Structure formats: structure tokens, C-alpha cells
């Protein structure tokens, strides 16, 4: 199998390479033929005949068919069959570009023209022009317009005949093809003359004379149309002048002979006109039979040959009626095709609009959904933030309530402590009151000042106890006055306190005296004995040497500065003694 497989594979590769090479060669030949088609159509035809189109793919066969049709047409080889063009007809209308579709329909119309089927030829040109809305090859567009205009002239549709030539002239002008532009202007001038449109004819004639002023050789082509212009719009002298100019040259063109015959009829030279009409009929060359009959009718009438004139007139009317019927049928046919094309284009446009609006609606719905989702997200986020904030506020309030409860508990505890202290103080005051009463009752030998001090203290204590028992502030009046006196006369208060302690705690006072303390120092120590602290004593006596006094007392009492507080030491000492 291995010995068989490799040779077969090699053969396939060679065949593929050969086919690929052949296709590449054919495409290159077609490219070269297309490049020289306008300048050297004979050479393009020779190149194309060297290609075997049976080996080409569908697209390349269609291209070859179109190029071959172009080459045959440009070499004046008229074909009456679609054998060459058929691959292009089958492929390009559905798959080609606007240029390729236009060219295909153009050459299809040319084949119909060669067959004499002007109706289908006109319809092919119409379909090509309809598909040429985005055509880039304006030269072929102009050629199609001219080919269609020739059929319009044969059908006596002079209005469209002139319009097509005017459009072609504009295209040739943009392409700088002056000769072709001049030919189109002459045909447009002829159409304006036939339509008796003098304003348009004068405008076109002005353009034509500009060409003649540049190139005198074009004057011969213009002369024939100047005679038609003079016949339609000029005087007899204008017609005679035009006839004289034409008669100077050789008269072999039947169209010119017919125009001269018509001019002779207009100026009354009917015999000369009749001779020219006979010359045209006997020339053996093609001529416009309808125009010939129309001129003949007027010439025979003016020569009083009424029977012959009526015969030609009858025949002419029948031809014109047939042409009008054909024109009407053709116009209806073209209008129907145009209507179908417009319906198709409208349907395609409607489908595109539906697709576009569907896409726009889809995008709008999608955007609306995105907005709603984002809005719901923002609302949810806002609610979450608000809930978190409310939870935080609630937590803060709970913490504040806890702290407030703690503060209330502390206040309650403090109030209880103050109540206990007050009860102890009241108990101490009561005890002191009892002691003072006992002293007054038993200590007869006390001096009068000491007795007065004790009485005053006892009176103050009685008022304070009455105030606390009855909650009536009026009982504390003596106490308040005493407090005010204490604030005013510190020395008197301190002496009275020392004397009171000398009675109530004589051992305490003697102990202080035994350690060498002076009366002022003992007064100072008695403030500590009352329960004041060192800072409170300093604020009360307002002496700068408060600290020095305290240090002197410590030294005399033997109290280390760092061992204990002086206030605590004094109160403990008073309790022990």
C-alpha cells in the first residue's frame, strides 16, 4: 500500500499545482486584456481567445464571458446569440458589483439589438441603469444611455432621446472625452429641434459652436443640424444659406438629403425636393422611411399630386399609429417593471428598516434593563447603607443607654456614699454635740472665751442637725453666718478651733506642744484634724509659705515626707490620743 499511496499522492499534488498554475495564468491573461481593452481591443481579443474557459471556476468564467463580449463588440463583431455572454448573465445579476451588473445588461441589450428585438434591448438597458446607482465605471454608464437613446429615437420617444444624450454629454465632459461629448450635444440639439424647444436648442447650439471654434473640422458635422435648426426656427434666407453650405460638399448621407428636401419644400422648390427624395429611395442605403414619407406627403401636396400624397399620408398614419401603440405598450411594460422594482426596493427597504429598528429597540430595551438593574442596585445599596447607618445609630444609642445606666448606677452609688458620709458626719456631729454638752456641764473651770466658743459651736451644730432632720434651710442660718465669718476671719476661726480641740482632745494638743509646735503651727495642724487635706488647707489660708510650714511641722513631728500624708497622720494621731 505504501508503494501505491505515495505515487498517487504525488500525482494529485502535481494536478493541483497544474490547475492552480493554469488558473493563475488565465486570471493574469484576463487582467492584461482588461487593461488594454479600451486602447487595443483587437489585441485584447487575441489574448482572450488563448484561454480555455471550460477549465475556469464559475466566477472566472463569468468574468471571461463579460470580457469576451466586450472585445467582440469593440471589434465590431456583432453577435446575435448569448453563447458567449450567458455565464455572465447567470452569475453577475445576483453576485456581481454594480459595474459588473451594468456591463452584463449592456451587452445583453446589444445582443437583443443585433437580433432586432428592440423591446428586450430597451428593457435590458433599463435594468442595467437601475442597477447602476452605485456604479464607478461612468464610461459604461454613458454608453448605456446612448444605446438606450438610439432605441428611443427609433420609437420616436424624442423627449427621452434628448434627455439620455444630455446626460451622456455631461459624463463625457467629466471624462474629458471631447469628441464623444460633441456627438452627444449634436444629438441633444436634434432632439430639441424635433421637440420645437428653441430655448434649449439655442443653449446647446452655443455649446456646439464653442467646440467648432476650437476645432474647425467639427463644423462639417454641425452644418447638417444647422439646416434642421433653420427649417424649424429660421427664415427662408437662413434655409437657403444652409442649403448652399451643404451643397458645397459631397451629398452621400441620406439624412442630409432628406433635410435638404424638406428645406426645398419650405422655400417652395418642390421639384428639387422631389428629385432628392427619389435619389434617397433609389440609393440603396438605409434611411428613415417615416421621415421620407412625411416630407413626400408635403411635396406631393404642393405639387398638386393629391392622390399620391393621400396614399403616402394613409400609409404614414398607419405606421405612426402602430408606433404609438407599441410606444404605449412599451411604456406600460416599463412602468410595470419599474413599479415591481420599486415594490421590491420598498420591501427591501422595509425589511432593512425593520431590522434597524429591531436592533435599535433591542439596544434600547437592553439599556433600559441596564438602567433598571443599576437603579435597583443603587436603591439596594442605599437601603443597605441606610440600614447600616441606622444599625450604627442604634448601637450608639444602646451604648449611650448603657453608659447612662452606668452613670446612673454610679450616681446612685455616689449618692449612697454621700448619704453614708452624711450619716457618719451627722453621727460625728451628734457625738461632738454630746461631748460639748458634757464639757459645758462638767468643766466649770473652763474660761469664759472657751465656753463662748463651745456654746457657739453647739448652737451651730444644733441648727445644722435641725436643718438635716426637717429639711428646712432656715435652721442653718447661724451655720451660714458662721461659714461666712470663717471665710472673713481665718485667724479667729483657727484659734477657736485650736481652743475647741484643747478642750475636746487635750492629749492631742499637749502632744503637739511637747514637740515644740507654736500656736500658729498648732492652728495649722488643727485644720488637718478637721479633715482638710493639704491642698485644701493651702487654698484656705492663702499663704505663700504654706509648703514651708508643712515641712517644719513634719520635721518637728518626725514625719517623713514620703512615708505618709500629713492629714492622715494628724487624724490617726488624734484618734490614738
What pLDDT, in 10s, does the model give residues 129-164?
A: 888 777 778 888 999 999 999 999 888 889 999 999
Q: What is the DSSP letter of 516?
A: T
Residue 331 has pLDDT above 80, yes or no: no
The CB density around residue 472, as the number of other CB atoms within 10 Å, is: 10
Asked if 196 and 232 count as a contact pair (C-beta separation under 8 A), the reply is yes
Asked if 142 and 168 count as a contact pair (C-beta separation under 8 A), the reply is yes
* Separation CA 34–CA 41 (nearest Å): 9
Could you tell me if residue 555 is inside a domain? yes
Residue 473 has pLDDT above 80, yes or no: no
510-520 b/e (C-beta count within 10 Å ≥ 16 → b)? ebbeeeebeee
Last residue of a domain, one of 267, 291, 325: 267
28-45 b/e (C-beta count within 10 Å ≥ 16 → b)? ebbeebbeebeeebeebb
pLDDT number for residue 9: 45
Residue 396 has pLDDT above 90, yes or no: no
Could you tell me if residue 346 is inside a domain? no
For 3-43, the pLDDT digits (tens) are 454 445 455 444 444 444 455 778 898 999 889 988 899 99
* Separation CA 90–CA 102 (nearest Å): 14
C-alpha cell belonging to residue 516: 515644740
Number of compact structural domains in the chain:
2
Last residue of a domain, one of 267, 296, 320: 267
Residue 335 has pLDDT above 70, yes or no: no
Could you tell me if residue 359 is inside a domain? no
> Of 77-81, 435-439, 553-557, 562-566, which gets the smallest average pLDDT?
435-439
Asked if 194 and 163 count as a contact pair (C-beta separation under 8 A), the reply is no
Q: Return mean pLDDT, the chain.
A: 80
Residue 189 has pLDDT above 70, yes or no: yes
Last residue of a domain, one of 240, 267, 294: 267
pLDDT number for residue 107: 93
pLDDT number for residue 442: 56
Put simply, whether the predicted model's pTM sits higher than 0.75 gets the answer: no
Between the alpha carbon of residue 372 and those of residues 267, 368, 376, 466, 574, the distances in Å are: 90, 6, 6, 80, 87
* Separation CA 224–CA 331 (nearest Å): 31
Average pLDDT over residues 106-112: 93
* Separation CA 126–CA 101 (nearest Å): 12
Could you tell me if residue 411 is inside a domain? no
* Separation CA 459–CA 438 (nearest Å): 14
> Of 84-93, 227-236, 359-368, 477-486, which gets the smallest average pLDDT?
477-486
Residue corresponding to grid cell 432593512: 352
pLDDT number for residue 339: 45
For 257-294, the pLDDT digits (tens) are 888 888 888 888 889 888 888 888 888 888 888 888 88
Backbone angles phi, psi at 76, to 5 degrees: 60, 35
Distance of alpha carbon 391 from the chain centroid: 44
Residue 513 has pLDDT above 80, yes or no: yes
Q: What do you get for the CA distance between the two ends of the chain, in Å?
A: 136
Backbone angles phi, psi at 60, to 5 degrees: -70, -35
CATH classification of the domain holding 249 = 1.25.40.10
Asked if 130 and 341 count as a contact pair (C-beta separation under 8 A), the reply is yes
Residue 90: band (very low, low, confident or very high) from pLDDT cuts 50, 70, 90: very high
Long-range contacts of 173-176 (CB under 8 A, 24+ apart): 174/138, 175/138, 175/139, 175/142
Could you tell me if residue 404 is inside a domain? no
pLDDT number for residue 161: 93
Which three-class secondary structure string do you get for 148-216? HHHHHHHCCCHHHHHHHHHHHHHHHHHCCCHHHHHHHHHHHHHHHHHCCCHHHHHHHHHHHHHHHHHCH
**Domain extent for 89:** 2-267
Could you tell me if residue 353 is inside a domain? no
Asked if 88 and 66 count as a contact pair (C-beta separation under 8 A), the reply is yes
> Of 27-31, 310-314, 322-326, 409-413, which gets the smallest average pLDDT?
322-326
For 399-417, the pLDDT digits (tens) are 888 888 887 777 777 667 6
Backbone angles phi, psi at 343, to 5 degrees: -60, -45
Could you tell me if residue 296 is inside a domain? no
pLDDT number for residue 17: 41
Asked if 139 and 175 count as a contact pair (C-beta separation under 8 A), the reply is yes
Could you tell me if residue 299 is inside a domain? no
Amino acid at each position: 500500500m505504501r508503494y501505491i499511496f505515495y505515487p498517487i499522492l504525488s500525482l494529485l499534488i502535481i494536478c493541483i499545482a497544474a490547475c492552480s498554475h493554469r488558473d493563475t495564468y488565465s486570471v493574469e491573461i484576463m487582467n492584461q486584456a482588461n487593461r488594454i481593452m479600451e486602447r487595443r481591443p483587437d489585441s485584447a481579443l487575441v489574448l482572450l481567445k488563448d484561454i480555455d474557459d471550460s477549465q475556469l471556476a464559475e466566477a472566472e468564467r463569468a468574468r471571461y464571458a463579460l470580457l469576451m463580449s466586450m472585445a467582440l463588440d469593440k471589434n465590431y463583431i456583432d453577435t446575435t446569440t448569448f453563447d458567449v455572454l450567458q455565464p455572465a448573465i447567470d452569475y453577475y445579476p445576483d453576485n456581481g458589483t454594480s459595474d459588473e451588473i451594468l456591463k452584463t445588461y449592456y451587452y445583453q441589450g446589444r445582443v437583443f439589438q443585433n437580433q432586432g428585438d428592440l423591446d428586450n434591448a430597451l428593457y435590458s438597458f433599463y435594468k442595467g441603469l437601475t442597477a447602476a446607482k452605485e456604479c464607478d465605471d461612468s464610461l459604461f454608464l454613458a454608453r448605456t444611455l446612448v444605446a438606450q437613446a438610439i432605441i428611443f429615437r427609433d420609437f420616436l420617444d424624442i423627449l427621452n432621446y434628448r434627455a439620455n444624450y444630455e446626460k451622456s454629454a455631461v459624463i463625457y465632459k467629466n471624462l474629458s472625452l471631447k469628441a464623444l461629448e460633441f456627438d452627444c450635444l449634436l444629438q441633444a440639439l436634434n432632439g430639441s429641434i424635433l421637440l420645437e424647444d428653441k430655448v434649449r436648442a439655442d443653449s446647446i447650439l452655443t455649446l456646439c459652436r464653442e467646440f467648432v471654434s476650437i476645432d474647425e473640422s467639427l463644423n462639417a458635422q454641425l452644418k447638417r443640424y444647422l439646416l434642421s435648426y433653420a427649417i424649424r426656427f429660421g427664415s427662408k434666407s437662413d434655409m437657403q444659406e444652409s442649403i448652399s453650405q451643404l451643397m458645397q460638399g459631397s451629398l452621400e448621407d441620406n439624412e442630409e438629403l432628406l433635410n435638404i428636401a424638406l428645406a426645398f419644400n419650405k422655400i417652395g422648390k418642390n421639384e428639387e425636393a422631389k428629385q432628392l427624395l427619389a435619389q434617397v429611395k433609389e440609393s440603396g442605403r438605409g434611411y428613415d422611411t417615416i421621415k421620407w414619407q412625411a416630407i413626400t406627403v408635403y411635396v406631393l401636396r404642393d405639387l398638386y399630386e393629391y392622390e399620391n400624397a393621400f396614399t403616402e399620408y394613409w400609409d404614414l398614419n398607419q405606421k405612426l399609429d402602430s408606433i404609438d401603440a407599441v410606444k404605449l405598450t412599451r411604456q406600460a411594460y416599463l412602468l410595470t417593471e419599474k413599479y415591481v422594482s420599486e415594490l421590491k426596493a420598498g420591501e427591501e427597504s422595509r425589511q432593512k428598516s425593520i431590522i434597524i429598528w429591531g436592533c435599535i429597540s433591542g439596544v434600547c430595551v437592553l439599556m433600559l434593563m441596564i438602567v433598571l438593574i443599576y437603579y435597583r442596585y443603587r436603591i439596594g445599596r442605599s437601603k443597605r447603607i441606610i440600614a447600616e447607618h441606622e444599625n450604627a445609630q442604634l448601637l450608639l444609642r444602646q451604648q449611650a443607654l448603657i453608659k447612662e445606666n452606668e452613670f446612673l448606677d454610679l450616681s446612685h452609688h455616689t449618692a449612697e456614699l454621700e448619704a453614708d458620709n452624711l450619716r457618719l458626719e451627722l453621727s460625728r456631729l451628734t457625738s461632738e454635740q454630746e461631748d460639748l454638752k458634757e464639757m459645758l456641764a462638767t468643766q466649770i473651770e473652763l474660761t469664759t472665751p472657751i465656753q463662748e466658743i463651745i456654746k457657739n459651736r453647739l448652737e451651730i451644730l444644733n441648727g445644722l442637725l435641725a436643718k438635716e432632720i426637717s429639711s428646712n434651710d432656715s435652721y442653718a442660718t447661724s451655720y451660714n453666718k458662721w461659714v461666712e465669718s470663717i471665710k472673713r476671719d481665718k485667724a479667729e476661726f483657727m484659734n477657736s478651733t485650736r481652743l475647741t480641740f484643747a478642750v475636746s482632745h487635750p492629749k492631742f494638743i499637749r502632744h503637739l506642744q511637747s514637740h515644740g509646735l507654736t500656736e500658729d503651727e498648732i492652728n495649722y495642724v488643727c485644720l488637718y484634724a478637721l479633715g482638710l487635706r493639704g491642698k485644701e488647707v493651702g487654698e484656705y489660708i492663702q499663704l505663700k509659705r504654706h509648703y514651708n510650714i508643712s515641712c517644719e511641722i513634719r520635721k518637728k513631728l518626725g514625719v517623713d515626707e514620703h512615708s505618709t500624708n500629713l492629714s492622715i497622720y494628724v487624724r490617726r494621731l488624734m484618734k490614738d490620743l
